[in-house]
Chains A and B, each alone.
Chain A
C-alpha cells in the first residue's frame, strides 16, 4: 500500500523563496497534511505549516494543492496518481509569512467592520423565540469555519490588491447576509453592504461556493439574496418599507 510520492513545496516568504522537492512515503488513507508532517518530522523540521484539528473543523490548514485552494487535512492522497508530482503552495491572496503560512489578518480587520448582532432593545436573554425554519438560513452561513479559501479564490481580491480596502470578500458579505437574515437582528445592513463592503464588486462567478469545504452555497444563498435586497431597497421604497414591516412581524411571531 505504501509508495513514494514526489512533493514540491514552496519554501520562503514574500520577498524570496523557491520550490523544494521531497520524496516521501505515503500510506493508505493519508491526506496531504500527513505528508507535509512527514516531511517536517523526517526531512525539514522547520517547514512552516498552519494546522490545528486535522479534521476539517477549524479551517487552519488552508493552502493550494496543485493550484487549487484546499484544506490540506481534507485532501486525500488517493485523489492523486502515484506518479503525480504534488505541488503545495501558500494561499496566493495573502502575504506569505513563511513557507505555507500566510498573513490572514486582512480577514480579521474586515470582521471588525461588520456591526455585531443587534437584538431589539429590552429583549431579555431567555425570552428569545425563533422558529427553526427562520433560523435555518443564517445557520447555513454559521457553518463557516473561516478557512478563508473563499477569500483566497475570489478574483476581486486575488488578482487586484487595490480592491482590498473597498471589498470585504465573500466571507464577510456572507456574514452581513447572515445577520440580515437573523430573525431578531434590528439593523438595516443593506446600505453598508453596498457602500462599505463592496457588494457591487461581486459578479457572482461562484468561485467562492466551489471552494467552500463546508459546502455552503455562498453565492446562491447569501450573496445573490443580499444583492436582491439591496436593489429592492435602492429602487423601490415601498417594497423596502414592506420588508421592514415583514421583518417586524416575523419578530412578533
Chain B
C-alpha cells in the first residue's frame, strides 16, 4: 500500500513543534501567540507526554516560603548542582524567568498548593538552598501538562470564535511520529524545509512543509534497561537533529535518579519522587544506618549537616541548621546507594531502604505523597505509611542534548532548527537539580517558540521559504519501509533489549575505558543487525515497526553517550569513571560535541565551554570557586572574589 508521492498527505505550517510535553506545548503556545501557524506533533495522544510523570515540582525563586530566595541564589544552586559545567547564560535566564513562567501557568488555570497567605507554596528539594519548588502534592508534572494542554485548547477556542475554525492557527497531530527532517539548500548552507513522518493509526505517511522546526522530544531513557522514562523516551529528536547535521553537547552526562523502585522486577526503575526526602524521608542501609552522612563530598561539606540531630532540626529550623545529606544533588546520592549495595549493605532486592513511615504520620504521608502511597500499594503491595520502600538508581534524565543558542534555542549548524527541554543540552551542566526540569521546559520552551517565530518572520521578510525536494521525500519513505520489506531478519524487540542490556552493563552509573570500548563494539554490532530488522504485519498501528524505526535514534544516541563518556577522562556529575575518579578543573573547560560522520558513525570534538562572566562569578566566594576552576582561571578572578 505504498502511496505514490502525490498521494502523501501534506501540510504547510510556519512552525512545526515535534514533541508535546511541557517544552513543546509552551513553544507552540508562544509561536501561535506570535501569529505563526503552528503544528504540534506528538508521538502519543495529546496530554500523555513524559512530563506527566514529573512529581516533585517546578523550581522558581518566587520567595513565597523563604523571602531570602531570589534568582541569584537559584543560579548559584543550579551551577553547583551542575558542577559548573552549565551553560551560564541558560542557568541565568532560567533562574530569572522561572517565577514568571510559574505565575503564567497559574493564570492559565494551574492550581498549585498554597501557602497560608494564599500564594503558591514551595517545597524543599535536593540542592536547592531554600524551599523553591511550586508543586501539587506529588503530581506536579500532570498539573503542568494539563494546564498547557488546556491553554492550547483555550487558544483554539479563541480561533474558533474569531476565525471560525478551532484549528486555524494551532493544530495537534496526535500519534504521529517524525522520522526525518527535510532540508533545502547547497551542501554547506542547508536550512530546515520540513519534516516527514507517519501516522501510527494508519501507518500512512505525512509531510509537513515548514521553515522552522522545534525539537522538544525529551529524553533517551529507553536506551537503558532500568529507567524511569516512558515508552517515548527513545531520543527521537536527538537522532533527527544529528541526521540533519546538528550537533549534540556533552552526551556523557546522564542522570541516574537515586530512588527508583527495585521490586517487583516488572516495575523496576519507576520513579520514587525526591519529595519523599524533601519532606523528611531518610535513606538507610541493611544495618539501619543513615549512610548518607558517610558520603558528603568536600565541595558540599559546608552546606550539609554532619549529625542526624542537626539534619532533623533543619526541617523545622532551616535558618540555624544545615540540611541533611539525603538532600545532596542526585548524582551524589545515586553513587552512595550504588556503593552501599556493592558493599553488601543493600536491601533484599538490591536497593536500600527509603523510610518515611517512621518519620511522618500516616495521614501526612497520604496527604503529601498521595501518588507514592498509591504506587507502592498497587504495584508492590507495600504500605509506605507502615514499611520502608526499597529503592535504587534508575536512568532518569540526560543533561546532554542538542547544542543550542541559550537565548533562542536555535541550533548553530542548521538554520530553522530549534530545540528546548530535555532534548536540548547545556542548561544543567553535568547534573540536573530536581525541580529544574519543569521550569526549564517552560522557560526555554517559550524562548524556542519565540526564536522560531522570529526566524520565520525574518525569512518571510527576505521573501523566500525553503522548499522540500521530492527526491528527499521518496528517500525518507523508502528508508521507513525497509523493515516491512525485509524478510526473516532480526526481531526489533530483541534488538532493543540487547541495546538496553549493553547500556545498562557498560555505560551505566560507574564507567571505565575498557567497558566503554566494549560498549562501542557492541553498539557497532547492533547497528549492523539493525539493518536487517524485519517486521511482520502491515503498517496499521504496528508496534514492531515503530520500535524498528525508533531504534535508529536509540542507536545514534547510545553511541554518542558511549563515545563522549570514553572521551571525558574525569568524574563529574552524571559521568563517573572509576579509572578517573576525580573531578578535573581542566576538563570543566571542555564541551564535547557529537556529530554524525559520513560513515554513519558518531564523531566527537572538543570545544571550549563559554566563560562565566565576572558579574556572575561574583556570586560565589573564592574558596568555593577553587574547587572548580583552574589556577589560571582563578588568577583572573574579579576583585569581589579575591578575598
Contact = CB atoms under 8 A, between A and B. Distances in A.
A27 B271 contact: no
Given A27-B266, A46-B535, A104-B45, A132 B543 contact: no
B491 to A, nearest CB: 7
A221 B116 CA distance: 24
A40 interface: yes
Contacts of A98: 201, 540-541
A115 B157 contact: yes
Given A28-B264, A52-B48, A139-B111, A45 B231 contact: no
B537 A45 contact: yes
Interface string B125-167: 0000000000011010011001000110110110010000010
A165 B114 CA distance: 38
Nearest to B104: A125
Nearest to A139: B111
B13 interface: no
B313 interface: no
Contacts of A45: 491-493, 535-537, 542-544
Contacts of B160: 112
A182 B111 contact: yes
A182 B150 CA distance: 15
A235 interface: no
A116 B142 contact: no
Contacts, number: 177
A232 interface: no
Interface stretch (B241-249, B303-311, B375-383): B375-383
Contacts of B113: 132, 135, 139
Contact of B47 (A47, A117, A142, A146): A146
A142 B143 contact: yes
A58 interface: yes
Interface centre among B44, B117, B160 (most CB of A within 10 A): B44
A126 interface: yes
B375 A112 contact: no
Nearest to A117: B109
Interface in B28-65: 44-48, 50, 52-53
A51 B139 CA distance: 19
Nearest to B493: A41
A101 interface: yes
Nearest to A105: B174
A138 B146 CA distance: 13
Interface stretch (A29-37, A153-161, A194-202, A222-230): A29-37
Contacts of B201: 97-98, 101, 103
A246 B410 CA distance: 50
A182 B109 contact: yes
Given A46-B544, A57-B142, A135-B114, A52 B232 contact: yes
Given A60-B48, A112-B153, A131 B118 contact: yes
B53 A58 contact: yes
A115 B266 CA distance: 41
B267 A59 contact: no
Interface in A44-64: 45-60
A74 to B, nearest CB: 6
Nearest to A41: B493
A45 B534 CA distance: 10
B460 interface: no
Contacts of A138: 111
A112 B106 contact: no
Interface in A1-44: 27-31, 34, 40-42
Contacts of B53: 53, 55, 57-58
A107 B231 CA distance: 23
B536 to A, nearest CB: 6
B119 interface: yes
Nearest to B51: A58
A76 interface: yes
Contacts of A30: 264-266
B48 A58 contact: yes
Contacts of B166: 112
Contact of B266 (A29, A42, A47, A58): A29
Interface in B487-513: 491-494, 497
B375 A56 contact: yes
B142 A145 contact: yes
Contacts of A117: 108-109, 150, 154
A249 interface: no
State the majority secondary structure of interface residues on A.
loop
B103 interface: yes
Contacts of B371: 57
B156 to A, nearest CB: 6
A112 to B, nearest CB: 6
B542 A59 contact: no
Nearest to B232: A52
A166 B121 CA distance: 40
B271 to A, nearest CB: 7
Contacts of B545: 46
A112 B157 contact: yes
B439 to A, nearest CB: 15
Interface centre among B116, B201, B267, B380 (most CB of A within 10 A): B267
Given A58-B53, A135-B111, A128 B44 contact: no
B511 to A, nearest CB: 27
Contacts of A67: none
B231 A142 contact: no
Interface centre among B107, B146, B491, B536 (most CB of A within 10 A): B107
Interface in B250-269: 263-267
B114 A48 contact: no
Nearest to A26: B266
Interface string A122-134: 0101101111100
A40 B543 contact: yes
B65 to A, nearest CB: 13
Interface in A77-121: 97-99, 101, 103-104, 108, 111-112, 115-117, 119
A250 B492 CA distance: 58
A52 B231 CA distance: 5
B277 to A, nearest CB: 19
A22 B477 CA distance: 34
Interface in B504-560: 535-538, 540-545
B302 interface: no
Nearest to B150: A116
B360 interface: no
B374 interface: yes
Interface string B91-115: 0000000011001101111010110
B181 interface: no
A229 B201 CA distance: 41
Contacts of B117: 129
Interface of B: 44-48, 50, 52-53, 99-100, 103-104, 106-109, 111, 113-114, 116-119, 121, 136-137, 139, 142-143, 146, 150-151, 153-154, 156-157, 160, 166, 174, 201, 230-232, 263-267, 270-271, 371, 374-375, 378-380, 491-494, 497, 535-538, 540-545
12 contacts: A29-B263, A31-B379, A41-B491, A46-B536, A47-B543, A55-B379, A97-B541, A115-B157, A116-B109, A126-B103, A129-B118, A131-B114
Given A49-B543, A108-B46, A128-B103, 15 more contacts: A29-B380, A30-B266, A41-B491, A45-B542, A52-B232, A55-B267, A55-B375, A60-B44, A97-B540, A116-B151, A117-B108, A117-B154, A125-B100, A129-B117, A146-B48
* Ranked 5 nearest A-B pairs via Cβ: A29-B264, A46-B537, A117-B109, A45-B544, A129-B118
